[in-house]
Amino acid sequence: MRPPHFILLLLFILPTTLTAQDRWPGFLGAGASPIKADTIPTQWSPEQNIAWKAGIPGYGQSSPVIWGDQVYVTSVEGPNKEQLHVVCYSLKSGKQLWDHVQPSTNPEKNSVYISRAAPTPVLDENGIYAYFESGDIVALSHAGKLKWTASLAKRYGAPQNKFGLSASPVQWKDRVIVLIDDEGPSYITAVSKADGSELWKTDRKSRASWSSPMIVPVGEAQQVVCSSAGTIDGYDPQTGKQLWSYAQVGGNNKTSPLPAGNGEFLIGASPGREGDNNELAKKSNGLFVVKQQDNAWQPGFVWTNASPTPSWGTPIVYRGHAYWVNRVGVVYCLNAGNGESIFTSRIKESCWATPVGIGDHIYFFGKNGVTTVLKAGNTFEIVAENELWTEDAPPVNNVPTAEETTAERRRASAMFSRPTLYGAGVVNGYLVLRTGSQLYCLQQLAAGR
C-alpha cells in the first residue's frame, strides 16, 4: 500500500537546476520552445527510433509535459480513482525519478465512460501544477516536493457531469486558470501558484463540455478564450472579467481555441451523437478573430467552411493551412486565409490527440498507435505511417473490471482494453507519446539501435 502523501524515488540523481531552454509546458504545447525539425524522426517502428518505453502507474488520458530533462504525466488508480499520481521521468533514459501519490477528495467509479486523469498539467520554472477531474489541484517542485494542494470540489461543490471533466488548465504569470463547464455549477477560476488560494472566480452558464481554455494574444494584451457548448467567450486573466461573448455557434464542446495569430484562433464543432446542433455546427468550423474597435471588442468569424468536422483533436493552423481530422481519420486541409478547401483525404486511423506541425511535416497521432506523417502543403502526401506497437501489444493497465450494465458500455470497455494514444510532447531531439499506461520516447537513433 502506497503512503497517502508522496513517494520520492532516486532523488539523488535529480539535477539541482533545470533549464527552460527546452520545454513543452502545457496542453497542446502552450508556451513551448522552438523545435529544430531535423532532430525529430519522421519514421519509427517497434524496432526503430524508440529510445525507451516506461510504464505509468494507474491510468491516465492527459498529455505528457516536459521541462528541461524531465517529463511528467498524471494518472489515477483504484476502483474509485481514489489515488492521484503525478509521475516524473528522466527524458534521457526513461527512468522514473519520483511518483507523488495523494488521495482524491472526490472519489468516483473508475470507468471507461468517466474521464481518468484527463486534464494536462502546466509547468514553470518552479515546478508542476496538476489538476484532476476530481477537483484536486496539486503543486510540486521539480524535485517532487509537495508545495500545496487545493480541492475545487470542496471549495465550490463536486462536478455533476456523468462523463467527467477533461478541460486542461492554462497558466498566466502567477496563476493557474481552470475552466469547469459542468451540468451543475459552471465557472472559470484563477488560483495562485504560490499557495492555491482563489484569485478570482467568474460564474458561467451550466453546460456539458470538455474543451480547454487557451491564452490568446489580442493586440498588446492577452485573453483567456473559452470555446464551449454554445458560446465563445473572452476573459481578462488578471481580473476574471468577461470581456465579450459570441453565441452564434453550436457543437463546440470538445476542441480548444488554439491561437493562430494576433486575436485569431480556429473553432472546431461537430454535431452530437443524436444529430443535435447539426445545422449550427456546420456554420461553426472556421477562423475566428477578436478585434478592438472604438473601445469595444468585436468578435466574429473571418470565414467558415461546412465541410470539416473534428472529433477530439483540435484543428490547427500551420504554414498558412488549416487542418481538421474527424472521427474516422478524414483530414480536411483548408486555406487558412480564406477557408477554401485544398484537399480532403483519409489517413489510416482516427486521432484523439491534436496534430503537431514540425518543419515540413504534420504529425497525426492515430488513436490505435499509427502516426501518419504528412507533407505540409497543398497536396496530400503521406511521408510515413509509423506503428508504435504491434497487434499483439499487451492489454493496458488499470482497465476497470466491474461489470458494465449495458451492451454499449461493455463494447466501450472492450475497446479500451487495448492501448489508446492520447497525447504528445515535443522538444528538441525528443518526441514523447503517451497511452493510458505507458510512455514512449522517440529519437532519431543511429541505424541498428
Q: The CATH number of the domain where 15 resides is what?
A: 2.130.10.10
Pairwise CA distance, residues 104 & 85, whole Å: 10
Would you list the DSSP string of 333-353? EEETTT--EEEEEE-SS-BSS
Pairwise CA distance, residues 96 & 104, whole Å: 22
Quick one: DSSP state of residue 400? Answer: -
pLDDT given at position 276: 64
Q: With bands split at pLDDT 50, 70 and 90, how would you rate the model's confidence at 9?
A: very low
In a domain, 27, yes or no: yes
Task: Take residue 163 and report the three cell numbers written for it.
Answer: 462523463
In a domain, 333, yes or no: yes
For the chain, the domain total comes to 1
**Structural domain of 336:** 6-442
Q: Give me the percent of the chain exceeding a pLDDT of 70.
A: 88
Q: Report in angstroms the alpha-carbon separations of 112 from 79, 118, 410, 413.
A: 12, 12, 10, 6
Give pLDDT tens digits for 306-352.
999 888 899 999 999 999 999 899 999 999 999 999 999 999 999 99
Residue whose C-alpha is closest to residue 260's, from 278, 240, 287: 287
- Please give the average per-residue pLDDT across 162-182, as a whole number: 92
In a domain, 233, yes or no: yes
In a domain, 359, yes or no: yes
Give pLDDT tens digits for 98-152.
999 999 999 988 888 788 999 999 999 999 999 999 999 999 999 999 999 999 9
Would you list the DSSP string of 35-53? --GGGS-S--BTTBSEEEE
| Cα 312 off chain centre by | 10
97 with 137: CB under 8 angstroms? no
Task: Take residue 403 and report the three cell numbers written for it.
Answer: 461489470
Give pLDDT tens digits for 346-397.
999 999 999 999 999 999 999 999 999 999 999 999 999 999 998 766 556 5
Quick one: DSSP state of residue 278? Answer: H
If you compute the radius of gyration of the chain from its CA atoms, what whole number of angstroms results?
Answer: 21
Give the predicted TM-score (pTM) of the model: 0.91
In a domain, 447, yes or no: no
In a domain, 449, yes or no: no
Range in 5-14, 73-82, 123-132, 297-306 the model is least confident about: 5-14
pLDDT given at position 448: 47
pLDDT given at position 250: 87
pLDDT given at position 270: 87
Pairwise CA distance, residues 418 & 390, whole Å: 11
Report for 158-162, 280-284, 358-362: range of highest mean pLDDT: 358-362
261 with 280: CB under 8 angstroms? no
